[in-house]
Amino acid sequence: MSEVVRLERRGDIALITVNNPPVNALGVAVRAGLQQAFERAEADTEVRAVVLLCEGTTFIAGADIKEFGKPPQSPSLPEVIEIIEGGSKPSVAVIHGTALGGGLEVALGCHYRIARPDAKVGLPEVKLGLLPGAGGTQRLPRLAGVAKALDMIVSGQPIGAAEAVEHRIVDELFEGDLVEAGLAYARRMVEEGRAPRRSGEQTAGLEGADNAGLIAAKHAEVAKRMPGLFSPLRCVAAVEAATRLPLAEGLKRERELFVECLQSPQRAALVHAFFSERQAGKVAGLPADVSPRQIKSAAVIGGGTMGVGIALCFANAGLPVKLLEINDEALGRALQRARDTYGASVKRGSLTEVAMEKRLTLVQGVTDYAALADVDLVIEAVFEDMGVKQQVFERLDAVCKPGAILASNTSSLDLNAIAAFTKRPEEVVGLHFFSPANVMRLLEVVRGERTSHEVLATSMALGKTLKKVAVVVGVCDGFVGNRMVFQYGREAEFLLEEGATPQQVDAALRDFGMAMGPFAMRDLSGLDIGQAIRKRQRATLPAGLDFPTVSDKLCEAGMLGQKTGAGYYRYEPGNRTPQENPALAEMLEAASREKGIERRTLDEAYIIERTIYALVNEGAKILEEGIAQRSSDIDVIYLNGYGFPAFRGGPMFYADSVGLDTVLAKVKELHARCGDWWKPAPLLEKLAAEGRTFSQWQAGE
Ligand code: 3HC
Ligand code: NAI
């Protein structure tokens, strides 16, 4: 028998165990092992029922994603599942952890399914740019109905075991030992003389509903909500096939659609995004024996926009957190904001009132630094001003216990200088959350030059606890995300001076897939933030370079974005829909005139190149300087913090897929036409000359 699949006889029951850590993915060895095991169980005349279960933390979590894009190897998963389903002896899948993708499809191939109450089942293929390609789109609707199948397959969201029972996906729940539960169920099947009940032969799910209506509605919803995505419409098409074709033909149609998805560039980008996120957790240079400290309590200094959001992250994770403000009045406002934020979730129905009150008890407001003496970690989120940061860090250093980590949420200040305000620079780290901190998944972990390995490891582990995607970055102005976005925003504004309107630029970038256009985004966060950064950066700006002027003019006119009712757009009171701002049109005409630019119509491709390649060129500089560990980390930052479309894999992966020689040619053209902001990054030149990609480059080369 293969190493990863074991077949044993327990009396007249065949027990098949998969053991392929970490997640029992269906690589070729597992597929071959399953085929052999089920065939042997079938051939063994003493066997009367079959149990399939997995060792480790989970049932099969899907196909082996690493095999995608490589030549297929036999047996294929659909072939294996056909053998499982076709067996003449009743089989049961015993599910714990997560049965996902091909894992759930294997379970659906078994004749019965039982699950632990905390197990989850789902078909998340769509998140990888795929559709379930081993019968999931044909068998699930036959069991659970078209509506539920469409929901699960198009959203990719798993459901809990109890819900799976309601929808006939799982037959019953069990507690306790997997083997005992599986054998007990199998014996019952034998005693009751149960025949195989094949999912592919079921019809209950397809009856009694307006399937054509459900399909049409989902099709319309996907077309509207997921424009530009390749696989979701094909998921709908595959389920539609299940409603009208016999199983064998439906499976054939599913395979065709699956192969189309498999070959699409979006699949490659989404799989890149999946592995990049996991890779980001691996910190170069961190010794393997470093273990993170336990963080049992935390404090946040400053209860403004960020501080409150950060405090809520801890409360959401069940950790007590102290929130410190300058006086009772400011503290009262901060605590009210915490309550209001949860209140909005209660209103939306995503949080219960009881859960809200429980979480709020974890947030303790304080005004005295002495209250911070016993916490394991403090995150400072006060004004972005070095003088204020100095005061805070000196006080923290004085009151916090030895071993307490002192973190700053600064978005642009020099973390090494902040660390130097303390006598424990090795305990200082940057924890750069993104607004709204309780919602956004990204956490840039800023490694100062003295930050210790243990503090870094603890920060990464904390990211997981807070359900964030933590990415290590180095110290520089804006770290990775904001340093790049600054280039992007500046070029977007230069486009306005050349002749575009904010509406055109925003629309082009939304069509590209960005969650929001740069001008709508700036209006949302406030134009004064950028103005302050430009003010600081102007002091050290190399000769011959300057910023566009329109944003400063808007600030001077008091148009700071949504909060003042106007910025790049105009907003009616109480309405966030952007309208044209006539004052801006005049400012743009004047700016173009002043610079001697003849305004012209800009096409979408130019708008994309000018903004996205600005990200890429800066990303290349960041890599070369060692501010990011690897190009995929930059992608993770952009996918999780800046609304970059996952189906394009992130800015660096996008550049790789366009071809670095093509990108470089355009960067050089822009350099010649627009000046030194566009100086090509040496790394971009080097890789383009070598015919390589950012993904192939390794730090330290
Ligand atoms: N194939 C290969 N490797 C996988 C994998 C898979 N399906 N799923 C997870 N891994 C790897 C990860 O890359 C990671 O490797 P690393 O330790 O070397 O970085 C390791 O397993 C652990 O993964 P996580 O860090 O994500 O562990 P968690 O415990 O946080 O989560 C999980 C476990 C919920 C199973 C999560 O890994 C997950 O969602 N996996 C993907 C599931 C999926 O998308 N399945 C569908 C695949 S497509 C398919 O089945 C096609 C079929 O229809 C034909
Ligand atoms: P804010 O102005 O909304 O809040 C700052 C809060 O700090 C105020 O409530 C103020 O009363 C309090 N404060 C000031 N001095 C203090 C002191 N000595 N002790 C205790 N509290 C004090 O500012 P915001 O936007 O929350 O920013 C805070 C930090 O987070 C800044 O460093 C900023 O750069 C950073 N940041 C901001 C982001 C944003 O989108 N707003 C995103 C990421 C980081």
How high is the pLDDT of residue 701?
Answer: 79
Residue range 63-82: average pLDDT? 95
Residue 41 has pLDDT above 80, yes or no: yes
Rounded to the nearest angstrom, the distance between the alpha carbon of 427 and the centre of ligand 2 is 21
How high is the pLDDT of residue 455?
Answer: 98
How high is the pLDDT of residue 700?
Answer: 80
Residue 1 has pLDDT above 70, yes or no: no
Q: Which of 42, 125, 491, 609 is catalytic?
A: 125
How high is the pLDDT of residue 69?
Answer: 85
| CB neighbourhood size of 233 (10 A) | 17
Lowest mean pLDDT among 274-278, 428-432, 539-543: 539-543
Query: What ligand is nearest to the CA atom of residue 366?
Result: 2
Residue range 566-584: average pLDDT? 94
How high is the pLDDT of residue 653?
Answer: 98
- Confirm whether 105 is a catalytic residue: yes
How high is the pLDDT of residue 537?
Answer: 87
Smallest CA separation from ligand 2 atom 31, residue: 384
How high is the ipTM of this complex? 0.96
481 close to 454: Cβ distance less than 8 angstroms: no
Confidence of residue 529 (pLDDT cuts 50, 70, 90): confident
How high is the pLDDT of residue 119?
Answer: 98
Residue range 276-302: average pLDDT? 95
Q: Which protein residues touch ligand 2 with a CB less than 6 Å away?
A: 301-307, 324-326, 330, 381-384, 388, 391-392, 409-411, 433-435, 525
**369, 370, 374, 379: CA torsion to nearest 10:** 0
Residue 472 phi, psi dihedral angles, 5° rounding: -80, 135
Q: Which two tokens stand for residue 3?
A: 């190493």
Q: Which of 42, 82, 85, 105 is catalytic?
A: 105
Residue range 454-468: average pLDDT? 98
Residue range 18-26: average pLDDT? 98
Confidence of residue 539 (pLDDT cuts 50, 70, 90): confident
**What number of residues does the chain have?**
701
Q: Which two tokens stand for residue 102?
A: 């091909």
Amino acid residing at 129 = G
Percent of the chain with pLDDT over 70: 100
Instruction: Go through 1-29 and write b for each residue having 16 or more CB atoms within 10 A of its CB, e for each that does not.
Output: ebebbebeeeeebbbbbbebeebbbbbbe
Q: What is the pLDDT of residues 199-247, one digit of tens each?
A: 999 999 999 999 999 999 999 999 999 988 999 999 999 999 999 999 9
Residue 28 has pLDDT above 70, yes or no: yes
- 3-class DSSP state for residue 321? strand
For residue 82, give the nearest of 181, 199, 170 by alpha carbon: 199
- 3-class DSSP state for residue 678? helix
Residue range 634-647: average pLDDT? 98
Residue 146 has pLDDT above 90, yes or no: yes
Smallest CA separation from ligand 2 atom 21, residue: 302
Say how far apart CA 66 and CA 118 lie, in whole Å.
27
Residue range 577-589: average pLDDT? 95
- 3-class DSSP state for residue 433? strand
Say how far apart CA 22 and CA 281 lie, in whole Å.
16
Rounded to the nearest angstrom, the distance between the alpha carbon of 336 and the centre of ligand 1 is 40
Which atom of ligand 1 lies nearest, measured to the CA of 100? 45
**Strand ranges for 25-171 from DSSP E:** 49-54, 91-95, 98-100, 112-115, 120-122, 159-160
Longest dimension (CA), the chain: 91
Residue range 145-152: average pLDDT? 98
Query: What ligand is nearest to the CA atom of residue 482?
Result: 2
Residue 501 phi, psi dihedral angles, 5° rounding: -105, 160
- Confirm whether 125 is a catalytic residue: yes
Residue 491 phi, psi dihedral angles, 5° rounding: -65, -35
| Residue recorded with tokens 């336990």 | 294
Confidence of residue 434 (pLDDT cuts 50, 70, 90): very high
Q: Does the beta carbon of 64 sit less than 6 angstroms from any atom of ligand 1? A: yes
Residue range 54-67: average pLDDT? 97
Q: Does the beta carbon of 133 sit less than 6 angstroms from any atom of ligand 1? A: yes
Q: Could you give the C-alpha distances from 26 to 33, 130, 178, in angstroms and in order?
A: 10, 16, 20
Share the mean pLDDT of the chain. 96
Rounded to the nearest angstrom, the distance between the alpha carbon of 101 and the centre of ligand 1 is 10
Say how far apart CA 583 and CA 571 lie, in whole Å.
13
Q: What is the pLDDT of residues 661-686, one digit of tens each?
A: 999 999 999 999 999 999 999 999 99
For residue 493, give the nearest of 613, 618, 607 by alpha carbon: 607
Residue 4 has pLDDT above 80, yes or no: yes
